[in-house]
Amino acid sequence: MSPEGSTDADVETADRRTLRYQAVGAPSGYPVFLMHGTPGSRIGPRPRAGVLYRLGVRLISYDRPGYGGSDRKAGRSVADCAADVERIADHLGLGTFAVVGRSGGGPHALACAARLPDRVSRAAVLVSFAPNNAGDDLDWYEGMNDANVRGFATTPAEEQKLVESLRLQADRTRRSPVTLLESLRGQISGPDRVVVQDPTIERLLLEAYAEATRPGPYGWIDDILALRREWGFPLAAIRQRVRLWHGAEDNVVPASHTRWLAERLPDADLQVQNDSAHFGAMGILPSILSWLAEEPSLVI
Over residues 148-192, the pLDDT tens digits come to 998 888 887 888 999 999 999 999 999 999 999 999 999 999 999
DSSP state of 77: -
pLDDT at 292 over 60: yes
**What is the rounded CA–CA span in Å between residue 101 and residue 231?**
15
Domains delineated in the chain: 8-292 (3.40.50.1820)
DSSP symbols for 27-63 = TTSEEEEEE--SS-BTTBS---HHHHHHHTEEEEEEP
**pTM of this prediction?**
0.95
Beta bridge partners of 126: 102, 245
pLDDT at 298 over 70: no
Beta bridge partners of 32: 59, 98
Which pLDDT belongs to residue 44?
85
Which pLDDT belongs to residue 6?
66
Other Cβ atoms less than 10 A from the Cβ of 201: the count is 18
**What is the rounded CA–CA span in Å between residue 200 and residue 211?**
17
DSSP state of 230: -
**What is the rounded CA–CA span in Å between residue 148 and residue 153?**
8
Return all residues near 235 (Cβ < 8 A) that are at least 6 apart.
110, 114, 261, 264, 265
Over residues 101-138, the pLDDT tens digits come to 999 999 999 999 999 999 999 999 999 999 998 988 99
**What is the rounded CA–CA span in Å between residue 23 and residue 130?**
28
Question: Smallest Cα–Cα separation from 25: which of 2, 40, 162, 115?
Answer: 2
Percentage of the chain with pLDDT > 90? Answer: 89
Strand order in the sheet with 30-35: 8-12, 18-25, 57-62, 30-35, 97-102, 120-126, 241-247, 268-273
C-alpha torsion 181→85→165→215, nearest 10: 80
The whole-chain average pLDDT of the chain stands at: 94
Calculate mean pLDDT across residues 237-252: 98
Which pLDDT belongs to residue 176?
97
